[in-house]
């Protein structure tokens, strides 16, 4: 006999935890870029080895937000609908072996990003594993560096049911959870200058039960120092805490890459945009809705109330907001008149604009609450009257001290009679009530040696400060200690809470221990002022990024503002922001007598469909096309956008011009979810002349333009221009490019897909701080034609561009001005190019390099058809069009390879490197030839050696980008992206054998065997696929339940498999029963199905325009409610190539 028995063994699972931790430099990120994660900590729980904790460094902080996570090359946010169809649900993402790919959510082309939730919960607790004694601190002198911090920390509760997508990224200390391809909870720290330690790390390391702590801590750590506590804050470092939960079969942890929005930089109102006066925030917020794009306004000086006048009325030229690192909305307004003039606002200016007695207040970047710096008031300190376990009493405290301690975010310092250095420690997380500070410190009973309490991040303001609470919240305050020898010590902080009755404020981080305002120095030694209009924002402007890099003490050169020629950086920033002109086409009769300077509008001011432009140029020659005469008109000083491309997820205004595939229509209000439709096509559109209060210019009252006969290469029938290539108006009508061609606008650093974001130079860069600063600066300059100069003790910036229309006499040189001979050098044909290979990080390619080839047919002919290739790689430009401008410029510049070197007299001292000069030198045939100064060398006898390179004016003229006119949609990345083809037709089925079947079909004309395939699914029941919407789930839609209510149960039966958006990996749910009278389904197991996982209704924001609501609110989902899909089918075949037949010999019963 043979007998068997079953024996169970515990088989250990091995997990590769090789993190390859090495010391590395953190990058600096400007704009939106993908960066690697840097492992810097890893450990498991002692009593739970399947729980792994890791920390990943990201970048120098503080960064604005975390947009997307890539795990092993897969993004968290779906690229578009096509990507969603492959990775958006379990049924399509699950492989035959049951493996679930990394599920994606949302849509990048909608502007969706990840969002986080607050995982901290419960009552805050203090550090418990070590006591705090006053002998623990031994600082020398007054410079403190990183000081001991005693924060509370909170337990955390992770969950998978939080809303997964938004539009401003994961913010500081928020958590994002997912369970595919691994169960993981990621908590993001943005790198604040005074951020707290990670709650989860501290709570584990400080667990009362040693077996619940970390394994390395429990087994190997000697406990002489805190393994992980409140002081492990990783200041100024953006990082992720990851908690992995390992399950059977997992042998390694995924590798992270993060797409982040980088640091905010000071912009100094360079673009004439102004922030709201923070001291008027309450009234400003309520009045925002009364000020819209296109509105005429009056401007007044806030201090003097004098009107700021203009030749023509002031108009709100632009209005937008961006999210800061706190997730708050920051508004910006630009005001201009119709002739393109901006109001003169001093850097210290405060002004308001008014419409019908309604006011909105603004402040320039250097505007201050006080006209002159004020003295800091009395020290916010008091003696201690009682001491106990984690408790101190202060019965004699002043009202100001009590008010400061009651403010949100207050922290304290303590003084000791035994240890003067103890003042450098900071304590927060305490509670204050009835003259008593509770929960102060850790595991300590305070003794009589502790003699006084100081509000360590508090300040007593001057009596002239406002008496209203919270008025200064969010403002930047600068405190200066003035010493007798003339030296100063300056500290800058952000006010987080303000008490107006007692005029006390607390700031976002404690004052330096030896320089607490009002403490330890003579009266009036400390002064302060509050800045009301700090212009700090995430920026893709290269000039602003360069200035930040040069000024940063932490990762840059550390220059002071006095070392910077600020006007030159502001001027360069404006030049980088050069925007598109807009060209339209009309019959010659329609545009006759149209004069430059005339102003025309379309639509209603304050809506997304509003357009306003000033005539910049009118084509002088009639063009006979198809027997009719046409001319084009170009507008500058443009407000809004004339026609937007149709999308179902865009919120349109009533009668706004929209277009799709060469057809123009007037939009209906809201989201046109029903599609573009086939009726109501427009043939013309009418622009209206604005005459009231304008400079008189000729032109028809109604300007009729064509929107049907001609279209640009991307299918835009409204904005277009003439191209001789096709003898037609089929070129782009934008001098740069159309914002509608940027599919992944959020991921190239834009806040909205608006035409305002189309500029000549924009950069999204990750700076390698391991490289020398000189190398990084030169790389940055090369990518935006920048020229950094040092003159008169200051660094100045200029942008290489076209030569001036007229030259100053000091910039014109004749042969007689040259001392000695002129040396001419020709770089030769080796550095002359006619083709180029461009490589840039493309968001469409998950920020991997995209390589695109270019050639100039005229240059090829000149070189007798011999290719001369330029390899051009940019790491800081992620927008295809901006990268293309650069590579075209490089090719053109290479065709002019002459360099001259000559010496001139003292007049050469007036030259500046980078400027263009004119040179006449008959010996070489130079007649007023343009050269750009490369270098200047000054001699002891006041002579100047000049080195200059031949200037090619054509290289700095941006030509309209010719989109693909042969088919497809031209998207970011420079390749035609094929749309989803229409369905196959002519499907026939015939029997090939008993029980077998042959399918034959015909591919549609839009099908390409190189990019498309056909999937064949076999139904396993009478109902192959049914989709319905979740209405409710028991009494709590976010709790586990077995009963769900749906909108319709038709076609659903017991035994159907069920999947829903964000179904947990590997979850198999089936219908157990169907109640047709109540539309209730009973599932075979309890699951958590949150409502509105795919999207939710737009937020109610009364002060926003419809376009802004579109930007703030969640983009409408594929359905308004969570979709449940029921199916009885399996995929049996996927075609390859142009295959159009499938033979199934026997239908199985699976």
Mean pLDDT value of segment 622-646: 93
Phi, psi (5° rounding) for residue 882? -70, -35
Average pLDDT over residues 627-646: 94
Per-residue confidence (pLDDT) for residue 1112, from 0 to 100? 35
In 3D space, the residue among 115, 266, 122 whose CA is nearest the CA of residue 178 turns out to be: 115
Gyration radius of the chain's alpha carbons = 34
What pLDDT shows up at residue 253?
A: 83
Indicate the SS3 state at residue 776: helix
Categorize the per-residue pLDDT at 1109 as very low, low, confident or very high, splitting at 50, 70 and 90.
very low
Mean pLDDT of 128-156: 56
Whether the predicted pLDDT of 717 surpasses 60: yes
Residue 880's pLDDT is what? Answer: 94
Query: pLDDT higher for 627 or 264?
Result: 264
Average the pLDDT over each of 399-413, 893-907, 977-991 and give the range with the smallest value: 977-991
- pLDDT-derived band of residue 1079, with 50, 70 and 90 as boundaries? confident
Range scoring the smallest mean pLDDT among 513-522, 860-869, 872-881: 513-522
Look over the chain and give the mean of its residue pLDDT values, rounded to a whole number.
85
In whole angstroms, what is the distance from residue 351 CA to residue 307 CA?
Answer: 9
155 vs 268, higher pLDDT: 268
Take residue 1088 and report the two structure tokens written for it: 């958590």
Report the distance separating Cα 606 and Cα 355, nearest Å: 14
Q: What percent of the chain has pLDDT over 70?
A: 85
Alpha-carbon dihedral angle through residues 440, 443, 448, 451, given to the nearest 10 degrees: -30
**How far, in Å, CA of 1129 to CA of 1134, rounded?**
15
Q: What is the pLDDT of residue 704?
A: 96
Closest CA to 1026 of 1006, 988, 1053: 1053
Residue 928 exposure: Cα atoms within 13 Å on the Cβ side: 6
Of 1124, 1112, 1122, 1116, residue with least CA distance to 1083: 1124
- The stretch 495-511 carries a mean pLDDT of 95
| 385 touches 399 (CB < 8 A) | no
The CB density around residue 994, as the number of other CB atoms within 10 Å, is 7
Whether the per-residue pLDDT at 77 is higher than 70: the answer is yes
Q: What is the mean pLDDT of residues 853-858?
A: 88
Determine the pLDDT at residue 1070.
76
Which of the four pLDDT bands, split at 50, 70 and 90, describes residue 539? very high
Distance between CA atoms of residues 681 and 147, nearest Å: 69
**Residue 36's closest CA among 44, 18, 53, 24?**
24
- How is 978-1005 classified by DSSP, letter by letter? PPPPPPPEEEEEE-SSTT-EEEEEE--T
Cα-Cα-Cα-Cα dihedral of 1123, 1129, 1131, 1137, to 10°? -80
Q: If DSSP codes are grouped into helix, strand and coil, which group holds residue 728?
A: strand
What is the mean predicted confidence (pLDDT) over 303-309? 92
Structure token digits, residue 271? 């673009």
Strands 644-645 and 628-640: unpaired
pLDDT digits (tens, 9 = 90+) for 105-125: 999 999 999 999 999 875 556
Using CA atoms, how far apart are residues 421 and 941, in angstroms rounded to an integer?
Answer: 59
Give the separation between CA 780 and CA 285, rounded to whole angstroms: 38
pLDDT of residue 187: 96
Q: Is 541 exposed, middle or buried (0-12, 13-18, 19+ CB in 10 A)?
A: buried
| Segment holding 851, helix H or strand E | strand 848-855
| Three-state secondary structure string covering 1081-1107 | EEEEEEECCCCCCCCCCCCCCCCCCHH
User: Which residue do the tokens 């992995």 mark?
Assistant: 244
Across 800-822, b (16+ Cβ under 10 Å) vs e yields bbebeeeeeeebebeeebbeeeb
- Can you tell me the mean pLDDT for 21-33? 93
Q: Is 24 helix (H, G, I), strand (E, B) or coil?
A: coil
**pLDDT > 50? residue 245:** yes
Two structure tokens written together for 686: 């009418």
| Average pLDDT over every residue of 485-509 | 94
Instruction: Report which secondary-structure segment, H or E, holds 567.
Output: helix 566-576
Alpha-carbon distance 493 to 850, whole Å? 42
Alpha helices in 206-309 (DSSP H): 215-219, 281-287
For 543-559, how does the pLDDT look when each residue is reduced to its tens digit (9 = 90+)?
999 999 999 999 999 99
Listed as own residue / partner, the contacts of 1081-1087 with beta carbons closer than 8 Å and 24 or more positions apart are: 1081/1043, 1081/1044, 1081/1045, 1081/1046, 1081/1049, 1081/1052, 1082/1042, 1082/1043, 1083/1042, 1083/1043, 1083/1044, 1083/1058, 1084/1042, 1085/1042, 1086/1040, 1086/1041, 1086/1042, 1087/1040, 1087/1041, 1087/1042
Nearest-CA neighbor of 546 among 576, 591, 512? Answer: 576
Residue pair 457/505 in contact (Cβ under 8 Å)? The answer is no
Lowest mean pLDDT among 424-433, 659-668, 818-827, 1128-1137: 1128-1137
Nearest C-alpha neighbor of 413 from the set 398, 401, 428:
428
Flag the least confident range among 16-30, 458-472, 772-786, 1102-1116.
1102-1116
The DSSP line for 608-670 is TT-EEEEEEEE--S-EEETTEEEEEEEEEEEEE-S-EE--TTSEEPTT-EEEETTEEEEPPSE
Strand partners for 817: none
**Range from 668-682, 684-698, 841-855, 897-911 carrying the lowest mean pLDDT:** 668-682
895 CB neighbour count, 10 Å cutoff: 18
For residue range 357-408, what is the model confidence (pLDDT) as tens digits?
999 999 999 999 998 999 999 999 999 999 999 899 999 999 999 999 999 9
Report, as an integer, the average pLDDT of 193-201.
91
CA–chain centroid gap for 882, Å, is 17
Q: Name the region of 137 (left: φ>0; alpha: ψ -120 to 50; beta: rest).
A: beta
Characterize 1089-1104 residue by residue with b for buried, 16 or more Cβ atoms within 10 angstroms of its Cβ, and e for exposed: bbbbbbbbebeeeebb
Distance CA 753, CA 107 (A): 14
Over the stretch 731-784, which tens digit does the pLDDT of each residue have?
999 999 999 999 999 999 999 999 999 999 999 999 999 999 999 999 999 999
How many angstroms separate the CA atoms of 844 and 840, rounded?
11
The answer to whether the CB of 418 falls within 8 A of the CB of 489 is no
pLDDT in tens, 930-952: 999 999 999 999 999 999 999 99
Q: Is the pLDDT of residue 135 over 60?
A: no
The full DSSP string for 429-497 is S-EEETTEEES-SSS-B--TTEEEEEETTEEEPPTTS--STTTTTT-EEEEEEEPTTS-EEEEEEEEEE
User: So what's the pLDDT on residue 972?
Assistant: 32
Written as six digits, the tokens of 193 are 């200058």
Specify whether the CB–CB gap between 635 and 644 falls below 8 A: no
Give the pair of three-digit tokens for residue 1019. 């139904």
Tell me how far apart the alpha carbons of residues 68 and 981 are, in angstroms, rounded to a whole number: 29
Query: Minimal CA–CA distance to 172: which of 116, 210, 244, 110?
Result: 116
Q: How far apart, in whole angstroms, are the C-alpha atoms of residue 439 and residue 389?
A: 8
| Burial (CB count within 10 angstroms: exposed 0-12, middle 13-18, buried 19+), residue 64 | buried
pLDDT at 53: 95
- CA terminus-to-terminus distance, the chain: 38
Average pLDDT score over residue span 334-362: 91
Please check whether residue 335 is in contact with residue 292, taking contact to mean a CB–CB distance below 8 angstroms.
no
């Amino acid at each position: 006999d043979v007998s068997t028995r079953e024996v169970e063994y515990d088989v250990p699972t091995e997990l590769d935890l090789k993190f390859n931790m090495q010391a590395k430099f953190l990058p600096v990120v400007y704009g939106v870029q993908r960066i690697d994660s840097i492992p810097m900590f890893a450990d498991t729980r002692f009593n739970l080895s399947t729980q792994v904790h890791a920390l990943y460094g990201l970048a120098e902080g503080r960064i604005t937000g975390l947009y997307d996570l890539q795990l092993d090359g897969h993004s968290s946010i779906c690229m578009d609908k096509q990507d969603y169809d492959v990775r958006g649900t379990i049924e399509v993402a699950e492989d035959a072996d049951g493996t679930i790919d990394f599920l994606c959510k949302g849509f990048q082309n909608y502007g969706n990003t990840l969002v986080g939730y607050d995982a901290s919960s419960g009552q805050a607790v203090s550090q418990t594993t070590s006591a705090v004694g006053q002998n623990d601190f031994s600082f020398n002198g007054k410079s403190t560096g990183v000081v001991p911090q005693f924060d509370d920390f909170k337990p955390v509760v992770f969950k998978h049911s939080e809303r997964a997508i938004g539009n401003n990224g994961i913010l500081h200390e928020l958590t994002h959870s997912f369970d595919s391809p691994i169960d993981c909870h990621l908590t993001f720290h943005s790198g604040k200058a005074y951020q707290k330690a990670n709650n989860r790390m501290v709570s584990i390391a400080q667990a009362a039960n040693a077996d619940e702590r970390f394994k390395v801590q429990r087994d190997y750590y000697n406990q002489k120092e805190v393994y992980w506590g409140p002081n492990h804050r990783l200041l100024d470092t953006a990082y992720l805490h990851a908690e992995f939960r390992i399950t059977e079969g997992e042998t390694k942890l995924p590798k992270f890459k993060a797409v982040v929005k980088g640091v905010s930089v000071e912009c100094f109102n360079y673009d004439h945009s102004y922030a709201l006066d923070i001291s008027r925030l309450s009234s400003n917020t309520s009045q925002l809705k009364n000020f819209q794009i296109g509105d005429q306004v009056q401007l007044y000086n806030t201090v003097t109330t004098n009107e700021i006048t203009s030749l023509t009325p002031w108009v709100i030229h632009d209005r937008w907001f961006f999210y800061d690192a706190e997730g708050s909305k920051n508004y910006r307004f630009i005001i201009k008149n119709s002739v393109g003039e901006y109001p003169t606002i001093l850097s210290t200016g405060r002004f308001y604009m008014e419409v019908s007695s309604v006011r909105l207040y603004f402040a320039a970047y250097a505007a201050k609450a006080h006209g002159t710096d004020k003295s800091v008031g009395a020290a916010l300190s008091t003696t201690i009257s009682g001491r106990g376990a984690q408790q101190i009493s202060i019965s004699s405290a002043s009202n100001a001290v009590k008010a400061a301690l009651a403010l949100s975010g207050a922290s304290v310092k303590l003084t000791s009679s035994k240890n003067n250095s103890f003042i450098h420690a900071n304590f927060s997380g305490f509670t204050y009530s009835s003259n008593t500070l509770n929960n102060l410190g850790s595991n300590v009973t305070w003794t009589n040696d502790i003699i006084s309490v100081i509000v360590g991040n508090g300040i007593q303001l001057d009596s002239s400060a406002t008496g209203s609470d919270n008025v200064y919240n969010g403002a930047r305050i600068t405190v200066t200690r003035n010493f007798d020898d003339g030296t100063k010590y300056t500290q800058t902080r952000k006010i987080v809470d303000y008490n107006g009755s007692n005029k006390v404020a607390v700031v976002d981080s404690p004052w330096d221990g030896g320089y607490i305002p009002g403490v330890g120095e003579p009266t009036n030694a400390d002064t302060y002022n509050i800045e009301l209009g700090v212009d700090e924002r995430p920026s893709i402007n290269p000039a602003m990024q360069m200035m930040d890099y040069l000024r940063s003490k932490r990762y840059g050169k550390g220059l002071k503002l006095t070392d910077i020629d600020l006007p030159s950086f502001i001027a360069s920033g404006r030049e980088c922001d050069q925007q598109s002109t807009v060209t339209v086409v009309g019959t010659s009769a329609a545009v006759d007598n149209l004069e430059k300077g005339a102003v025309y509008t379309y639509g209603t001011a304050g809506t997304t469909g509003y357009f306003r432009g000033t005539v910049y140029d009118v084509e002088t020659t009639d063009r006979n096309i198809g027997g009719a005469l046409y001319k084009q008109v170009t507008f500058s000083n443009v407000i809004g956008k004339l026609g937007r491309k149709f999308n179902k997820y865009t919120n349109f205004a009533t009668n706004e011009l929209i277009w799709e595939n060469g057809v123009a229509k007037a939009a209906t209000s809201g989201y046109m979810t029903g599609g573009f439709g086939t009726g109501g096509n427009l043939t013309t559109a009418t622009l209206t002349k604005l005459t009231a209060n304008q400079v008189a210019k000729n032109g028809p009252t109604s300007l009729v333009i064509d929107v049907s006969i001609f279209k640009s290469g991307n299918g835009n029938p409204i904005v277009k221009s003439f191209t001789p290539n096709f003898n037609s108006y089929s070129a782009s009508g934008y001098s740069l490019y159309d914002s509608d061609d940027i599919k992944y606008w959020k991921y190239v650093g834009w806040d909205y897909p608006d035409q305002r974001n189309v500029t000549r130079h924009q950069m999204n860069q990750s700076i390698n701080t391991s490289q020398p600063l000189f190398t990084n600066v030169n790389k940055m300059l090369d990518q935006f034609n920048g020229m950094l100069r040092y003159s008169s003790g200051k660094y100045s910036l200029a942008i290489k561009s076209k030569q001036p229309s007229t030259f100053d006499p000091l910039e014109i040189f004749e042969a007689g001005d040259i001392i000695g001979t002129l040396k001419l050098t020709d770089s030769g044909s080796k550095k002359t190019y006619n083709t180029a290979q461009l490589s840039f990080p493309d968001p469409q390619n998950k920020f991997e390099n995209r390589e695109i080839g270019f050639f100039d047919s005229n240059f090829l002919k000149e070189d007798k058809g011999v290719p001369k290739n330029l390899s051009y790689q940019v790491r800081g430009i992620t927008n295809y069009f901006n990268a293309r401008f650069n590579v075209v410029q490089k090719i053109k510049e290479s065709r002019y390879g002459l360099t001259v070197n000559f010496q001139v007299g003292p007049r050469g001292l007036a030259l500046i490197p980078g400027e263009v000069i004119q040179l006449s030198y008959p010996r070489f045939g130079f007649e007023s030839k343009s050269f750009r100064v490369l270098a200047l060398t000054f001699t002891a006898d006041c002579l100047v050696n000049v080195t200059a390179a031949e200037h090619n004016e054509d290289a700095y003229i941006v030509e309209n980008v010719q989109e693909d006119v042969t088919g497809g949609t031209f998207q970011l990345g420079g390749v035609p992206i094929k749309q989803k083809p229409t369905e196959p037709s002519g499907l026939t089925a015939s029997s090939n054998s008993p029980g077998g079947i042959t399918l034959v079909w015909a591919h549609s004309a839009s099908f390409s065997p190189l990019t498309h395939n056909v999937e064949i699914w076999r139904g396993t029941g009478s109902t192959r696929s049914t989709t319905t919407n979740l209405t409710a789930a028991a009494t709590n839609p976010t709790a586990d339940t077995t009963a769900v209510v749906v909108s319709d149960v038709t076609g659903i039966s017991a035994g159907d498999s069920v999947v829903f958006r964000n179904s947990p990996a590997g979850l198999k749910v089936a219908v157990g029963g169907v109640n047709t009278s109540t539309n209730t389904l009973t599932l075979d197991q309890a699951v958590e199905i949150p409502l509105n996982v795919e999207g939710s209704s737009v937020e109610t924001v009364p002060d926003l325009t419809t376009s802004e609501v579109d930007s703030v609110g969640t983009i409408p989902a594929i359905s308004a409610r969570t979709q449940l899909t029921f199916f009885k089918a399996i995929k049996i075949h996927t075609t390859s190539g142009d295959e159009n037949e499938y033979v199934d010999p026997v239908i199985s019963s699976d």
